[in-house]
Structures are given as structure tokens and as C-alpha cells.
Amino acid sequence: MKKSVLVFILLVSVIGIKCQNDMKTEYNKLTDEEKRVIINKGTEKPFTGKYDEYFEDGVYLCKQCNAPLYKSEDKFDSGCGWPAFDDEIPGAVKHIPDKDGVRTEIVCSNCGAHLGHVFEGEGFTDTDTRHCVNSISLIFEPAKIIQPESAEYDTAIFAAGCFWGVEHHLKLAKGVVSTEVGYTGGKTTNPSYKEVCYMNTGHAEAVRVVFNPALTDFETLAKLFFEIHDPGQLNRQGPDVGDQYRSEVFYFNEDQRQTTLRLIDTLKAKGYSVVTKVTHATDFYPAEEYHQDYYEKTGSNPYCHIYKKKF
């Protein structure tokens, strides 16, 4: 009995690793001025920060750990001399009563970096909230403008657990022009990674693949998709558990749908369990930049996507 309890505790611990540790654990190197504000809780001079009057589309990240903090749609001009936001990405910002007993400090939930202070009751926006943030505590990641792919290329979207490993294998396939990890299949517009992990958005971690039909085809890529993960695992892949890690093919046309269904029948005939969903493709939202080409950037290898020939 004791052994069973220990195994259960270990399993629960492993399951929690993915979403807790995907954020950077190695923090960015800070300048002395950045340390003064971010570490020692200083304040930059008003009207001097680069993001004070900056209103481009994108996401604001933590300067120290790159965790997403604020969406550009929540930024407004308060005239106070510092960037102002009337909302935060859910769970991204921690509120701490200041030692002066009057103000409330805001810090990055992921790494504790000092951001500034939050104020309420000023009437600037409908939320009646103003996050007064130091520009120096932020990094801006512009929104990606998705251009239509050339008519000579085709597109496929696959979900098979953590999108890092899926992208790693697919981008090495012959005929693949580009890959991009992101979120799709859910109900939330422009979700963040934290929202997909913790907010029941219904989105799957997925990979959008652009390929050259003259060099490969959808069936070849779909076979690879089935061979780099276990399609018999429901709402999980290896130690990663949750519906965002489900196995799913998002088809763009009837040919892709029929091809996927035929491959599923073939696998079942071979004795494989398959719970892969087959769904019409809808909006695809690119993931944060630090998720793109993850294993190429880190020089490491997938931990739960191992190729196994099945066809």
C-alpha cells in the first residue's frame, strides 16, 4: 500500500512538470539599470520609457524571464508617464501589498521581477484599474502578420502532445517548407500559453506545417505524425496530461479528412489503439516566440516523441 501511494505521488509530480517548467528557468542577463528597477524595486523616470506612448499590436513579456504579462489590446494612454494596462494575462501578474501600506506592488508571477504598481478607482477605463509598469521591466513581442502561403504550397495542422517535439520531427521531413507551433481547436481568441495550460480554453498545442506538394504529400506527413506519438493516449502524451495534449488532425479539405480516416483504419487493423480526433481546421494562433523551434534553440531532444515505424 505504501509503495502504491509513493508511485501515485511521483506520477502527480511528473505530470505537473511540463506546464510549470516550460517558462525559462535561466533568466536573461540584466544591465545595472535593469537590476535597479527589476531586482531592487526601483522606478524609471516618467516619460522616458520606450513603451510609454507605444501602441503596436503584440504581447508584453517580462524582461527577466520572457513570461507573457500583458496584451497590447489592454494598454491605454493614462498620461502618467509610464505604460498603463487595464488588465493582465490571467495568472501572469502577482499583486503584493506595498510596505508603505498604501500602494500595491505588481511582480511577474513566474520569476518575481518588479513591474510597478496597480491602482484602482481612477475611472480611466471600464475595468477601473491601472497597471503602472516600468518600460524597463518589459520586452515587446510584435504580433505576427500571417501572409497567405504561395499557391504552390499546401498546409496541414497536427496536434500530438507537446508541440516542441511534434515540430522537431515534422520540420525535418522532406518537402516541408516551414513549421510554426501554436494553439487551435478551442473557444478563446488569441490565447496565451498560460491560458491554454490553466484556463480551460479548449485549445490544443498544435503545429502548422507548410509543405511543397511537388516533394511530399499530406499522407506522408500524416503517417509521420502517427509514428512520432502514441495516438492511443487520450488527452495526454507521455508525462504531459491535459486536453491541450490531445491527438488531433485539423484537416483543410475532404482529401485530408479521408486520408486521415484511412490511416486510422489501417492502424487499428494492425492492432494499434487510436483515439485521434479528426476536425475541420479553424483559426490557428501562433504561440509565443520562445516556443518556436524550441529544440533547435536549446540544442536538446524531444522527451516524449520518439519515432516508431508503424506503416
The beta-strand segments (E) located in 5-134 are 58-62, 68-71, 75-76, 84-85, 93-97, 104-108, 114-120, 129-133
Exposure b/e, 85-102, CB count within 10 A at least 16 = b: bbbbbeebbeeeeeeeee
- Predicted confidence band of residue 216 (pLDDT cuts 50, 70, 90): very high
Considering the domain architecture, whether residues 197 and 249 belong to the same structural domain is answered as yes
Active site residue: 62, 108, 162, 304, which one?
A: 162
Is 62 labeled as catalytic in the residue annotation?
no
- pLDDT at residue 54 is higher than 60: yes
Instruction: Supply the CATH number for residue 229's domain.
Output: 3.30.1060.10
Entry pTM: 0.56
Considering the domain architecture, whether residues 182 and 122 belong to the same structural domain is answered as no
Instruction: Supply the CATH number for residue 65's domain.
Output: 2.170.150.20
Domain range for 223 is 154-298
What letter represents residue 66's amino acid?
N
Q: Does 13 fall in a domain?
A: no
> Last residue of a domain, which of 142, 163, 195?
142
Considering the domain architecture, whether residues 104 and 169 belong to the same structural domain is answered as no
Cell of 129: 484599474
Considering the domain architecture, whether residues 287 and 227 belong to the same structural domain is answered as yes
- pLDDT at residue 149 is higher than 90: no
Exposure b/e, 201-225, CB count within 10 A at least 16 = b: bebbbbbbbbbeeeebbbeebbbbb
Active site residue: 62, 65, 111, 132, which one?
A: 132
Cell of 95: 499583486
Convert the pLDDT of each residue in 163-189 to its tens digit.
999 999 999 898 998 999 999 999 989
